[in-house]
Structures are given as structure tokens and as C-alpha cells.
Amino acid sequence: MSEVKKVVLAYSGGLDTSVILKWLQDTYQCEVITFTADIGQGEELEPARRKAEKFGIKPENIFIDDLREEFVRDFVFPMFRANAVYEGEYLLGTSIARPLIAKRQIEIASQVGADSVSHGATGKGNDQVRFELGYYALNPSIKVIAPWREWDLLSREKLLSYAEKAGIEIDMKHKNGGAPYSMDANLLHISFEGRHLEDPKAEAEESMWRWTVSPEQAPDTPEYVDLEYEGGDIIGINGEKLTPAQVLTKLNELGGKHGIGRLDLVENRYVGMKSRGCYETPGGTIMLRGHRAIESITLDREVAHLKDDLMPRYAALVYNGYWWSPERKALQVLIDHSQQFVNGWVRLKLYKGNVYTVARDSKDTLFDKTIATFDDDGGAYNQADAGGFIKLNALRMRIETTAGRK
């Protein structure tokens, strides 16, 4: 086992990362620096500080950073400019958070002179890939410690036994068999995996959902919301200017109230297996609908179609952990260039789990009523021109038929 002097651990304060903290100290006899990110998961983070202190971590080696604005501004918003959706459904809520956490870990490692970083992702999931691709992209010489791939604590019983012997606080839910689901939350979404969700035939229990009301129980009266866009990003809601994190927080509240953003899917993990997960992404669901609506009147047709062609590749790069890759950065340049005229406003109607576009306008609109009208356009569009256009576009098919091909 190679020598480790100082390691920066992505630390939540939960049972698993607390066991990892102690295991790092015992196994590597190294100094541990804990890093806890506030990306809007809605948990009180000070307990993580107190738990770290119990392990003898010095106050100056405990980092608890509020990254909510950076998360939405520099990660969520750029991704939504691409309209990124993985496998037609997943809005990438977990995937997009990992590059930021990895970035901050590497920054802290540089700041404190650490030679290693560590995370609590298991050897079966995507997160190990996302974290470590980020680490290596940002610091090629960093050493990565992935305890779940090294230790022998491969059952819940062994983990609890280790925790008990180490004097780690174990709450009742873990003693009684663990939390009902494996959950991950940030400002963009909350996810649920494990337990009875591992049976694709089993419907998720209503009590599982945390952020959204059941669409059946949502208000019987629809609610309208106006989104103001600048450069493809939302800068205001209902006439009020907001920061990126405030935008997503507000849309989560509105979407949750109306039962918007629930998702139950089976996805293809990068590591090769299929996995069933349930997600609540109320604000993100509204954002996606609004962005596509404002693009519909501001983007050139071929640019819009090119973006749609590239979107699955972009989404897969984010899902698989390649946020810091040259190809994702190149795609982002193209996407961001396309957004220079994506300005204006969109009005959406929220009603019982659905988001409807009802109005949109922009000073940069490409919608020309004088040309598009069914009424007399005063010669703005010569319908006779369509005949030659159609005939030329049919030429290759006419030739194929004439040549006897069926």
C-alpha cells in the first residue's frame, strides 16, 4: 500500500463517510481533511463539523462550503442551455453535481498540500467514475482512495460492526435495517434507489416522494409563471430578478406544489448494469420546458436541429462523468454561442403534474407574423415559389424511381 500523507475526503457526515474517515485514519495513518459541500441538499451541515471534530480533525482542516450559486450558475445553467436529457427522461441531477464536488476537493488539496483525495462512492455505481475522472482531469498526479473498492466491509452488518467498535454514532434507522432508500439531493433534484425499488415491477410508494405533492392532490386551479431569459438563462420569475440559485429554489417550490417533475425509470449505468431509480426534479422540469419554448422563437431552424442532434452526446458525457473533457467543453462553446439571441420571456401554466407553454415573446424573435399568417400577406411570401422548391427536393427520389429502385 502506497504512502499517503494527507487526504481530502468528500464528507457528508453520514454513516458511510464517517466509517470511511475512521478507516482512512486506521489504514493509512494519514491526516484527513474533510470537505462538505452545500449544494442545496436541504440538510443541516454543522453536524458534519461536530462529527469530524470527534475524529480529531482540526478546525482548520474542516471545510464546509456553500456552493449553491456556483452549482446552478456554472453547472446546471450551462447544462440546461443544451436541453440535456439522458436516455429521453433523466435530467442528470446527480451527474451534474459530481464535477463541482471534485473540483472543490482538488482546490482544497492544493490549498492544504494534500497528496490524495477520497470519496464514498461504491464500486458498482456511476459516481466513482464521475468523481475520479474529475480528479484526474484537474490534477493528473493526484492519488485517489476509493474505500469501497479496497476494504472488506462489503455488507451492512460489517459496516455497522466497524462503526460500533470505532465509537461512531449510529442512529436508529441504521440499527433497524437502514434507511428505506438510498437518497441523494441537491438544488436540482432528489433521487431514490434501493430496497423495493430494485424490483422494476413494484410501484414506488407515495410516502417515498419528498419534494412534490401527488398530481392527484395538486391544486385544482392552474398557476401561471413568467420566466425571463437572457443568453439562454433564466434571470427573473414573475417580474422579479433572481440569482441562479434563487431561480431554481423558486421553481422547485412552484413545481413541487403542482406535482411536477416525478420520474420513475430504468437507466443504463456507465459501468454496464441497468438501474432503477426514482427522481423528483420539479424546478428542472419547468426550466427545460421554458428553455425549449424561448428557443422555439429565437433559434434558427438548422441551429435548433443541430443542438437536438448533439444533445444526446452532450447528455451522455455529463452522465458518464466527462464534464471536464475537451469534447464536452467544445460542445459547450457551440451551445453557448447559439444562446446569444435566446432572450425574452415565456409564460407557462402549471397544473397537476404538467407544464404547458401558453405564450412567449422576444425582441430577438425569428417569428415573422407577416410571413406566417394564413391571411393575405401582401406578397411577403410568394406561394408559387414552393413548386420549384418541392420539385428540386424531390429530384433524387424521382431519379431513384426512374432507375428502377424500389
Please tell me the distance from the alpha carbon of residue 32 to that of residue 23, in angstroms, as a whole number: 10
Establish whether 380 is an annotated binding residue: no
Residues paired with residue 263 on neighbouring β-strands, in sequence order: 279
Establish whether 137 is an annotated binding residue: no
Establish whether 127 is an annotated binding residue: yes
The one-letter amino acid at 376: D
Cβ partners under 8 Å of residue 355, min gap 6: 255, 260, 285, 286, 289, 348, 349
Establish whether 13 is an annotated binding residue: yes
Establish whether 279 is an annotated binding residue: yes
- The question of whether 182 is a catalytic residue gets the answer yes
Within 262-368, residue ranges assigned H as helices are 282-298, 301-320, 326-338
Residue 306 has phi, psi (to 5 degrees) of -65, -45
Number of H helices, E strands in the chain: 15, 14
Q: Which is the catalytic residue, given 16, 68, 184, 289?
A: 16
Establish whether 214 is an annotated binding residue: no
Other residues' Cβ atoms within 10 Å of the Cβ of residue 141: 6
Establish whether 65 is an annotated binding residue: no
Establish whether 15 is an annotated binding residue: yes
Establish whether 275 is an annotated binding residue: no
Q: Which is the catalytic residue, given 49, 68, 81, 98?
A: 98
Establish whether 377 is an annotated binding residue: no
Cβ partners under 8 Å of residue 78, min gap 6: 332, 335, 336
Establish whether 394 is an annotated binding residue: no
Please tell me the distance from the alpha carbon of residue 135 to that of residue 143, in angstroms, as a whole number: 9
Establish whether 90 is an annotated binding residue: yes
Query: C-alpha cell of 243?
Result: 440569482
Establish whether 357 is an annotated binding residue: no
Please tell me the distance from the alpha carbon of residue 217 to that of residue 345, in angstroms, as a whole number: 29
Establish whether 17 is an annotated binding residue: yes
- The question of whether 292 is a catalytic residue gets the answer no
- The question of whether 127 is a catalytic residue gets the answer yes
- The question of whether 98 is a catalytic residue gets the answer yes
Q: Is 360 exposed, middle or buried (0-12, 13-18, 19+ CB in 10 A)?
A: buried
Q: Which is the catalytic residue, given 68, 127, 184, 338?
A: 127
Q: Please give the full DSSP string across 238-287, using - where no structure is assigned.
A: TTEE--HHHHHHHHHHHHHHTT--EEEEEEE-TTS-EEEEEEE-HHHHHH
Establish whether 336 is an annotated binding residue: no
Please tell me the distance from the alpha carbon of residue 384 to that of residue 215, in angstroms, as a whole number: 50
The one-letter amino acid at 332: Q
Q: Which is the catalytic residue, given 73, 115, 182, 296?
A: 182
Please tell me the distance from the alpha carbon of residue 257 to that of residue 223, in angstroms, as a whole number: 10
Please tell me the distance from the alpha carbon of residue 64 to that of residue 264, in angstroms, as a whole number: 32
Establish whether 95 is an annotated binding residue: yes
Establish whether 388 is an annotated binding residue: no
Q: Which residues are annotated as a binding site?
A: 10-18, 37, 90, 95, 120, 122, 126-127, 130, 182, 191, 267, 279
Q: Which residues are annotated as a binding site for L-citrulline?
A: 90, 95, 126, 130, 182, 191, 267, 279
Q: Which residues are annotated as a binding site for ATP?
A: 10-18, 37, 120
Catalytic center residues: 16, 98, 127, 182
Q: Which residues are annotated as a binding site for L-aspartate?
A: 122, 126-127
